[in-house]
Structure 1
Amino acid sequence: MASRVVISRASRIKTKLETALQAAVLEVEDVSHQHAGHAAVRHMEGGAQETHFNVRIVSAKFQDQNLVKRHRMVYDLLSDELQSGLHALSITAKTPKEAGLDS
């Protein structure tokens, strides 16, 4: 029987966003502990862990995209996570120029 490697939700989020958006900066912060008592968290499978995240991403792919479209890009990339226990994302999505990375 092969052993199964469990990868954290934070690692999966980071990999998906880095790969698809070619992020210049990507910070994924698990803030689930701040929401442990919330009803939505209590009702998830076995009091699911890793449910709330702050994401800061800088990507050239956000160029010419308004804030709603940028967030939609992130949500679309993480749709399977949202269907499997990810409850909330706080997203900061900027272009390299907006983040002060382009001269």
Structure 2
Amino acid sequence: MASSTSSSQTPMEDIMREKITRSLAPSTLLIRNDSHLHSHHAPMQGVTSKETHFHVTITSDQFVKKMQPARHRMVYALLKEEMSQEGGIHALQLRTRTLEEEDREKERKAAAKQA
């Protein structure tokens, strides 16, 4: 398995997906690499990594009865190593929700389409 990870075109995304899946057992996990949108920023000059900026949506029962800051701390703790290494994650935009919150959002969107 390690050899397939090392030859991956998205090793950081693969690590993120594995850690989040193992720890949070998400019903929804969407990882979007936005690094190309930020490559021109001054702090990114000279950085060769193409995996520095991510938008991550996670739906998990692990977030029940936790406020957003606590949910985000859970994810940051999972990815601490990747965020601290040279050429690692520079920016992480998180959207964390429970299954109930996700269902309510779907209902709102469906109602808005009918209106």
Same fold (TM over 0.5): yes
1:59 is matched with 60
- Residue 5 of structure 1 and its aligned partner are, at CA, apart by 4.8
RMSD over aligned CA atoms reads 1.7
- In 1, Cα distance between equivalents of 2:4 and 2:32: 25
In structure 2, the partner of 1:34 is 37
Task: Report the TM-score, using the length of structure 1 for normalisation.
Answer: 0.87
- 2:26 is aligned, of 4, 20, 23, to 23
| Percent identity (aligned) | 33
CA distance in 2, matches of 1:5, 1:64: 35
Shift of 1:40: 1.7
- Name the amino acid aligned to 2:61: A
- 78, 102, 114: which one aligns with 1:99: 102
> Which residues of structure 2 form unaligned runs of 5+?
105-115
The alignment of Structure 1 onto Structure 2 pairs a total of residues equal to: 97
User: 1:42 deviation in Å?
Assistant: 1.5
Give yes or no for contact 2:31–2:57 (8 Å, CA) kept in 1. Answer: yes
Task: Indicate the larger mover: 53-62 or 33-42.
Answer: 33-42
**Counterpart residue number, 1:70:** 71
Q: List gaps (5 residues or longer) in structure 1.
A: none
